[in-house]
Amino acid sequence: MKTLLLVRHAKSSWSDAATSDFDRPLNHRGEQDAPRMARRLAESGIRPRLLLTSPALRARTTAELFQQELGQKLPLRSDSRLYLASAGTLAEVVAGLDAPEDVVAVFTHNPGITHYANELTAVRIDNLPTCAIFAVQAEVASWKAFAKAKKRFLFFDYPKNPEAPVK
């Protein structure tokens, strides 16, 4: 069984217009949301075994904050294809995972992450907000088989989710 966690990077800062898109850091809210969402993920009982991130600063920092909060020596890998990736590119990256890990979290950007989430199951969302997590599962033995497998929607959570546990 394979579980895929799609995580949009946390809220980034726009305070310096001279900063390139790739180098935008998280803002204060993003720095607070990422550990909080990692805790909520841990409370769900789903524990990623690999964190795969876009190399953009805001995505990488979000993944690092998840890594710290989950309290594990989780492997964290960067993949340049994830920077502003389309849904098709995301599908290729996931299918190409040679990782034996059964639970992988992918940290990336909109609009590709929202489009990809909408291709995975019958659940439709208008937008994956910053630091949102969209989780799906498939009864397959390999990531290569994940693309064509029937997937089961597990959950969709985001920082301002009114139905989330109050902490």
DSSP string over 33-102:
HHHHHHHHHHHHT---SEEEE-SSHHHHHHHHHHHHHHTS---EEE-GGGTT--HHHHHHHHHT-----S
Between the CA of residue 142 and those of 4, 29, 35, 88, what are the distances in Å? 12, 36, 29, 18
Residue type at position 8: R
Residue-level pLDDT, tens digit, the chain, 167 residues: 999 999 999 999 988 888 899 999 999 999 999 999 999 999 999 999 999 999 999 999 999 999 999 986 899 999 999 999 999 999 999 999 987 889 999 999 999 999 999 999 999 999 999 999 999 999 999 999 999 999 999 999 999 998 876 54
Confidence (pLDDT) at 167: 47
Q: State the Cα–Cα distance between residues 11 and 8, nearest whole angstrom.
A: 9
- Name the token pair of 96: 């190409």
Confidence (pLDDT) at 16: 85
Confidence (pLDDT) at 165: 64
Helix (H, G, I), strand (E, B) or coil at 9: coil
